[in-house]
A and B are shown apart, each in its own frame.
Chain A
Amino acid sequence: MALPDSPASPATRQAKRPMARYFLTNEFGLAALIVLFAVLFGVTAQGFLSPFNLFALGRTASINIMIGLAMMVVIVTGGLNLALGAIGVCAAIFCGFLIQDAGLAWPLAIVLALALGAALGSINGWITVRSGLHSFIITLATMSIFFGAMIFLTRAQSYRGLPPELTSFGRIKIVEIVSPLLVVTVVVALLLAYLYRLTALGREMLAAGAKAEAAELSGVRVGRVFIICHMLSGAIAAVAALMLTARNGAAIPSMAGQLGQDWLLPAFLAPVLGGTLLTGGRVSVLGTCLGAFLVTMLTSGLLLMQIGEFWIQSFLGLLLLAAVLIDKSRRMLLDRSKLS
């Protein structure tokens, strides 16, 4: 029989540690914050739990999550994709052109638009690998090139002659509150989780991002892997843009703002909040999803509470800063627990 104040046996410590580690994860922290704020907004913000608001919240979150995932798959390599908004808009406009002007069937147009997104992403990856420069510089340049070319070719015209199958997809309600866009996002997130957890390519991506030289020595073709990551980012950005096209009922050049810059804040917030390391090598698909959902929910709740539209941006900035600091504390705690 153990004494009341005796230290726990090694076996008990082993059993408790995974639970303690779980409580220290970003995912648990984000889930707890989501529950906390949901209760807070549900009680204090009029209309937060109304079916329309829940539907709109899910729809907006689904697109923000997708944007976050598009950035996450490049952050894995320790790089960035500032051009993901521009790539997304190019893909959406291309899809609109193929349907409206070229007369293609919409499923084929979507496939070709996704292919264009992947192709533009692979251009980013190829230049990054060949030049040896950081992808921040490369994608900053291609952001202007892709967007400028699109504006030049389309003269900023929108495409709204899209089939109802596509446009109604953004407005359909499943059991009154769920948008089908959310289903698409969940499917893509599950595929990414499968990629990173259960495939050799996913593990190669993580290894190349963690330590490129070591991965190279282990036989990983790091350059090829980096190009695939950028290609994946472009394709996911295209999915996000097509979802936005369904939500807006049209493919419009301004859907991601000037040069696609409107997507950058959600693109950074979601993976960073979710625990994806900016230095590469570690990824959290669930964390990215929860991070994007938390930010979207906070925006919705704060808008409903009428705290002032201009405070929301400050609040989101504070949240990002807090997340980085909390993440640092978490890692310090984990380090200490390993030492003890």
Chain B
Amino acid sequence: MSRVTRVLACAGLALSVGSTAVLAADDSKFALVPGGPHPYFSAWEQAGKDAARDFGLAAADYKVPQKWELSQQNQLLESLLSQGYNGFLIFPGDSVGTGSTAAELVANGAPVIAGAGCLQDPSDAAFCLGTDTGNSAYLGTKQLIGALGDSKRIVHFTGFLVDPNTQLRIDAVQRAADEAGAQVVQVIADIDAPEPAEEKINAYLAAHAGEVDGIITTAWVPAVVAANALRKIGDKRIKMVGIDHDEVVLQAIKDGFVTGTMLQNPYGQAYIGAFALDKLRSGCTVKQDAPLMANALTAKFIDSGTAFVGADGVDNYVDAMRAATKALFDTFEATYLTCQ
């Protein structure tokens, strides 16, 4: 090796070592990866574009596994790391099973934040930014019970049993019902997909509509299907509180078939998640005394916000989500991060 080459090599090495301490924002290339295709996460795409523009990132791309399979998500994450992505906001395909992949990503220098759903502790995710699912289900059930008359028989439509959040939701609905003297007559789970939701909800209402007074749904697809079913039945006696902001549910609220919905904040999760990833790559760390909350999965939880929207607020639901995002973003760095 010639002397000039050696000098250049040493200079390059020195530069690279120096640059790893504090990385520039413009080489930050983040991937926002849900567990699979689902309408809930569609807001992540725009949030990623907005975050890339606002924070000067090289990219904050929304990357969807082709199917809702843990192995597909793991393979996509491994591929994205190989492609040079260096920060990840991940909705865990499984709260435990995604942990080892997250550990590998972090070991390769890419910070990980769990978004919309948490990894079970201990994990290498910096924190979990999502909806407090149990609390959301509890508050939604309270709203439903408030809308019911003397008879309080509730049916609960919810998501996949393999998702630990489902059990949290089932428990929270039961707790709210017990507190108010209501009866959960049936829990129908494993229906957060169009086909099983259509089949089971329509069959249940066809046979038992007269035996229930209220419906609580704690997953996106069942909320849509149940709202449609109530519209078809045309009987506004049965009250319903849904979840999320699908147009079908919002229109059903406007038309009086659905009492209201529990909003989550997917846009804020992705926008603030990308911001936080950039800060973590730039050398920031999560504060030792950050006011992180605990839920059933993690002690590193940050609530991205949840709100009930009824007929009086349905036209301005976007404002409610924006307000929740702004409130969290304005204080996020000062509250949760320590930056040099």
Q: Are B83 and A255 in contact (CB under 8 A)?
A: no
In the complex, which of the residues B68, B95, B161 has the most CB atoms of chain A within 10 Å of its own CB atom?
B161
Q: Shortest CB–CB separation between residue B70 and chain A, in angstroms?
A: 6
Given known contacts A46-B83, A254-B94, A156 and B100 CB-to-CB distance under 8 angstroms: no
A279 within 8 A of B: no
A252 within 8 A of B: yes
Q: Which stretch (A76-84, A118-126, A242-250, A324-332) binds chain B?
A: A242-250
CB contacts under 8 Å to A, within B66-107, are 66-71, 75-76, 78-79, 81-84, 93-97, 99-100, 103-104
Chain A: interface size category: 35 or more
Q: Shortest CB–CB separation between residue B119 and chain A, in angstroms?
A: 11
Chain B: interface size category: 35 or more
Q: Are B83 and A309 in contact (CB under 8 A)?
A: no
User: In the complex, A63→B27 CA distance in Å?
Assistant: 34
User: In the complex, A52→B65 CA distance in Å?
Assistant: 20
Given known contacts A47-B84, A60-B75, A303-B76, A249 and B160 CB-to-CB distance under 8 angstroms: no
Given known contacts A52-B108, A158-B94, A313 and B161 CB-to-CB distance under 8 angstroms: no
Q: Shortest CB–CB separation between residue B99 and chain A, in angstroms?
A: 6
Q: Are A52 and B82 in contact (CB under 8 A)?
A: yes
Cβ-Cβ contact count across A and B, 8 Å cutoff:
108
Nearest to B95 among chain A residues (CB) is: A158
Q: Select one of A46, A157, A160, A255 contacting B84, CB under 8 A.
A: A46
CB contacts under 8 Å to B, within A32-78, are 46-48, 50, 52-53, 56, 60, 63
User: In the complex, A15→B99 CA distance in Å?
Assistant: 56
Q: Are B96 and A160 in contact (CB under 8 A)?
A: yes
Q: Are B82 and A53 in contact (CB under 8 A)?
A: yes
Nearest to B104 among chain A residues (CB) is: A171
In the complex, which of the residues B70, B96, B103 has the most CB atoms of chain A within 10 Å of its own CB atom?
B96
Q: Shortest CB–CB separation between residue A295 and chain B, in angstroms?
A: 12
Q: Are B167 and A304 in contact (CB under 8 A)?
A: no
Given known contacts A52-B108, A299-B75, A303-B75, A254 and B70 CB-to-CB distance under 8 angstroms: yes
| B64: chain A residues within 8 A (beta carbon) | 309-310
User: In the complex, A63→B71 CA distance in Å?
Assistant: 10
| A254: chain B residues within 8 A (beta carbon) | 70, 93-94, 97, 162-163
Q: Shortest CB–CB separation between residue B265 and chain A, in angstroms?
A: 25
User: In the complex, A167→B122 CA distance in Å?
Assistant: 14
| B29: chain A residues within 8 A (beta carbon) | none
Q: Shortest CB–CB separation between residue B36 and chain A, in angstroms?
A: 10
Nearest to A311 among chain B residues (CB) is: B66
User: In the complex, A180→B167 CA distance in Å?
Assistant: 36
B239 within 8 A of A: no
User: In the complex, A299→B93 CA distance in Å?
Assistant: 19
A262 within 8 A of B: yes
A281 within 8 A of B: no
| A53: chain B residues within 8 A (beta carbon) | 78-79, 82
Nearest to A266 among chain B residues (CB) is: B71
User: In the complex, A63→B163 CA distance in Å?
Assistant: 23
A300 within 8 A of B: yes
A312 within 8 A of B: yes
| B83: chain A residues within 8 A (beta carbon) | 46-47, 304, 306
Q: Shortest CB–CB separation between residue B263 and chain A, in angstroms?
A: 27
Nearest to B83 among chain A residues (CB) is: A47
13 contacts between A and B (CB under 8 A): A56-B78, A60-B75, A60-B78, A156-B163, A157-B164, A160-B99, A170-B100, A249-B96, A249-B100, A250-B100, A252-B96, A257-B69, A306-B83
Known: A60-B75, A258-B162, A309-B66. 19 other contacts (CB 8 A): A56-B79, A63-B71, A151-B161, A156-B162, A156-B163, A156-B167, A157-B164, A160-B120, A171-B104, A248-B70, A248-B99, A249-B97, A249-B103, A250-B99, A252-B96, A262-B67, A262-B70, A304-B79, A313-B66
* A→B interface (CB under 8 Å): 46-48, 50, 52-53, 56, 60, 63, 151, 155-158, 160, 167, 170-171, 244, 247-250, 252-255, 257-258, 262, 299-300, 303-304, 306, 309-310, 312-313
- Please list the 8 inter-chain residue pairs (A to B) with the smallest Cβ-Cβ separation, ordered nearest first: A47-B82, A249-B100, A303-B79, A53-B82, A254-B162, A158-B96, A56-B78, A248-B97
